């Protein structure tokens, strides 16, 4: 059996996956084949993992690997899979690290085994949730392979395809949303302090944030339970919570609407690209 695993695209996602697969000893270096438009990134990985196999192009990956992670930008993925198409067969298992392309559109190029998944940056510290959708060709063995790799660095949640877009706001997109919200929180606090620098405020906030999820998870507290325990009517926290309760719903509604709108734009764009390529 061909145990070779290919990774195409070594941007933020591809690099994270490659590093985790090897650092956690999930794959052997000599079984991993990599391809990327920038040769500099390939060379950097070879310095750290000298037994890795560098491929000249996407077609070479398809020739040598049955399991292939495609971690390119959504608009580039159709061309990547088309490059591989002459060398794909019924054993070829394509794992696409974006939900911005529907499996129905991907099937127009490769009518075979496809997993669409949304990894998370939090997996760099062996946490977070990876969302996944398996098409009808995925076998139990394929599913176990995916679970073995991604489940070793995160929790894995298999969903219907249409549900991934919404839930990725809570998983893959969350580190970015979280960082922006917390950054604004620190800026607001900074306006009212004279002797504490922003770096100290940020550190105290991060330490508190690191403990808060543990408190909820280990003590089995809901969000409402926690608010009730910390917020006493008429107290400081209570007054702050009232403001957030009034203002934040509209902000989050607008953010969700914006991401859903952009998702639809990108999926339509990639669908149009695929239809043009297969004419």
| 234 in any annotated domain | yes
| 192 in any annotated domain | yes
> How many domains does the chain fold into?
2
Considering the domain architecture, whether residues 200 and 98 belong to the same structural domain is answered as no
Taking 3-state DSSP, the helix, strand and coil percentages for the chain, each rounded to the nearest 5, stand at 60, 10, 30
Considering the domain architecture, whether residues 178 and 150 belong to the same structural domain is answered as no
| 118 in any annotated domain | yes
Confidence at residue 155, expressed as pLDDT on a 0 to 100 scale = 93
Confidence at residue 165, expressed as pLDDT on a 0 to 100 scale = 79
Considering the domain architecture, whether residues 99 and 179 belong to the same structural domain is answered as no
- Of 160, 187, 206, which residue is a domain's last? 160
Considering the domain architecture, whether residues 146 and 194 belong to the same structural domain is answered as no
CB 8 within 8 A of CB 38: no
* Model pLDDT for residues 162-197, shown as the tens digit of each residue: 888 788 888 888 889 989 999 999 999 999 988 999
Considering the domain architecture, whether residues 148 and 196 belong to the same structural domain is answered as no
Give the mean pLDDT of the chain: 92
- Of 160, 186, 203, which residue is a domain's last? 160
Q: Rounded mean pLDDT of 109-137? A: 93
Confidence at residue 50, expressed as pLDDT on a 0 to 100 scale = 94
- Weakest-pLDDT range from 43-47, 95-99, 165-169, 239-243: 165-169
Considering the domain architecture, whether residues 209 and 130 belong to the same structural domain is answered as no
Considering the domain architecture, whether residues 24 and 150 belong to the same structural domain is answered as yes
pTM: 0.85
* Model pLDDT for residues 32-68, shown as the tens digit of each residue: 999 998 888 888 899 999 999 999 999 999 999 999 9
Residues in the chain: 279
| 272 in any annotated domain | no
Q: Rounded mean pLDDT of 103-125? A: 92
| 243 in any annotated domain | yes
Confidence at residue 173, expressed as pLDDT on a 0 to 100 scale = 86
> pLDDT grade, residue 249 (50/70/90)?
very high
| 273 in any annotated domain | no
CA 78 – CA 105 distance, rounded (Å): 9
CB 55 within 8 A of CB 32: no
* Model pLDDT for residues 209-234, shown as the tens digit of each residue: 889 888 999 999 999 999 999 988 88
Considering the domain architecture, whether residues 36 and 107 belong to the same structural domain is answered as yes
Residue of 91, 90, 69 lying closest to 80 (CA atoms):
69
Confidence at residue 36, expressed as pLDDT on a 0 to 100 scale = 93
Domain extent, residue 107, equals 5-160
| 89 in any annotated domain | yes
Considering the domain architecture, whether residues 123 and 239 belong to the same structural domain is answered as no
Q: For residue 1, is pLDDT > 60? A: no
| 199 in any annotated domain | yes
Confidence at residue 169, expressed as pLDDT on a 0 to 100 scale = 82
Share of the chain above pLDDT 70, in %: 100
Considering the domain architecture, whether residues 111 and 20 belong to the same structural domain is answered as yes
């Amino acid at each position: 059996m061909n145990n070779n695993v290919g990774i195409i695209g070594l941007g933020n996602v591809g690099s994270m996956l490659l590093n985790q697969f090897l650092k956690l000893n999930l794959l052997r270096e000599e079984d991993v084949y990599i391809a990327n438009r920038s040769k500099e990134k390939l060379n950097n990985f070879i310095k750290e993992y000298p037994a890795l196999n560098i491929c000249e192009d996407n077609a070479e990956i398809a020739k040598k690997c049955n399991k292939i992670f495609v971690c390119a930008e959504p608009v580039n993925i159709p061309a990547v899979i088309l490059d591989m198409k002459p060398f794909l067969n019924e054993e070829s298992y394509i794992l696409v690290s974006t939900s911005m392309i529907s499996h129905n559109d991907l099937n127009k190029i490769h009518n075979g085994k496809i997993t669409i998944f949304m990894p998370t940056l939090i997996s760099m510290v062996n946490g977070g949730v990876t969302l996944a959708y398996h098409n009808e060709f995925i076998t139990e063995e394929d599913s176990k392979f995916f679970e073995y790799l991604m489940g070793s660095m995160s929790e894995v949640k298999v969903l219907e395809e249409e549900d991934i877009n919404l839930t990725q706001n809570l998983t893959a997109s969350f580190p970015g949303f979280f960082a922006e919200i917390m950054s604004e929180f620190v800026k607001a606090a900074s306006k009212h302090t004279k002797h504490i620098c922003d770096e100290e405020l940020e550190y105290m906030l991060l330490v508190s944030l690191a403990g808060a999820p543990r408190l909820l998870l280990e003590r089995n507290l809901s969000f409402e339970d926690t608010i009730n325990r910390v917020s006493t009517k008429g107290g400081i926290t209570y007054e702050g919570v009232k403001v957030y309760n009034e203002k934040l719903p509209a902000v989050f509604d607008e953010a969700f609407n914006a991401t859903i709108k952009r998702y639809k734009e990108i999926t339509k764009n990639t669908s149009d690209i695929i239809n043009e390529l297969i004419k």
